């Protein structure tokens, strides 16, 4: 991985470690604009795993079909699965499950809405796992499918 990052000009290496180049810093800033938040959330009616991480993906709701692609990406990296939500018309929606998360899954809605500043057309991916790291990896892999 270090070799790939170095060959792409995103990092430089020295005896004391690695650091981002100007190009790497620019790409990291763009990444942070698309994925502004990553938060742990408690188990709720929408999740099935002991540990869960929600990732906000700015302006990517139109790329969500039914959420299966995100679930598969989470499982492929060792997560238990993923649930994908979209923010449209001021409502959090789970495609094919709920047209209004606040009514159908109020606990999940409050956890997400209190911790994220959602904007129209944002997507949220909740990755679940057997431990915090697998939940985070699953959520980020699932979010990556929307980028």
Domain count, the chain: 2
- Asked whether residue 27 falls in the same domain as residue 58, the answer is no
What's the pLDDT at 61? Answer: 94
Looking at residues 39-45, what average pLDDT do you find? 94
Between 132-144 and 68-76, two packed helices, what is the crossing angle to 10 degrees? Answer: 130
pLDDT digits (tens, 9 = 90+) for 53-71: 999 999 999 999 999 999 9
- Asked whether residue 19 falls in the same domain as residue 81, the answer is no
What's the pLDDT at 48? Answer: 87
Token pair for 64 = 């969500």
CA torsion through residues 127, 129, 132, 134, sign: negative
- Asked whether residue 74 falls in the same domain as residue 117, the answer is yes
- Asked whether residue 29 falls in the same domain as residue 44, the answer is no
What's the pLDDT at 146? Answer: 96
- In the structure, what pLDDT confidence band is assigned to residue 73 with cuts at 50, 70 and 90? very high
Which residues, including other chains, have CB under 8 Å from residue 95's CB and lie 6 or more apart?
A: 64, 65, 66, 67, 84, 86
Return d(Cα 81, Cα 52) in angstroms, integer: 10
- Asked whether residue 85 falls in the same domain as residue 115, the answer is yes
Q: Kindly report whether the global pTM for this prediction surpasses the value 0.85.
A: yes
What's the pLDDT at 1? Answer: 85
pLDDT digits (tens, 9 = 90+) for 92-123: 999 999 999 999 999 999 999 999 999 999 99
- Asked whether residue 100 falls in the same domain as residue 125, the answer is yes
For 103, the domain range is 35-144
- Asked whether residue 13 falls in the same domain as residue 79, the answer is no
- Asked whether residue 24 falls in the same domain as residue 43, the answer is no
Helix or strand holding residue 12 (H, E): strand 11-14
- Asked whether residue 94 falls in the same domain as residue 48, the answer is yes
Return d(Cα 10, Cα 26) in angstroms, integer: 9
What DSSP state is assigned to residue 128?
E
Return d(Cα 17, Cα 127) in angstroms, integer: 31
């Amino acid at each position: 991985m270090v070799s790939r990052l170095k060959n792409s000009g995103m990092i430089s290496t020295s005896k004391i470690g690695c650091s981002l180049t100007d190009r790497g810093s620019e790409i990291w800033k763009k990444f942070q604009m698309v994925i502004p938040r990553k938060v742990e959330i408690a188990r709720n009616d929408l999740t099935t795993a002991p540990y869960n991480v929600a990732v906000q993906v700015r302006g990517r709701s139109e790329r969500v079909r039914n959420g299966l692609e995100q679930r598969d990406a989470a499982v492929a990296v060792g997560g238990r699965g993923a649930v994908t939500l979209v923010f449209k018309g001021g409502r959090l929606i789970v495609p094919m499950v709920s047209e209004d998360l606040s009514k159908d899954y109020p606990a999940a809605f409050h956890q997400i809405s209190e911790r994220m500043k959602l904007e129209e057309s944002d997507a949220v991916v909740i990755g679940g796992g057997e431990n915090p790291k697998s939940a985070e990896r699953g959520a980020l892999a699932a979010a990556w499918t929307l980028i």
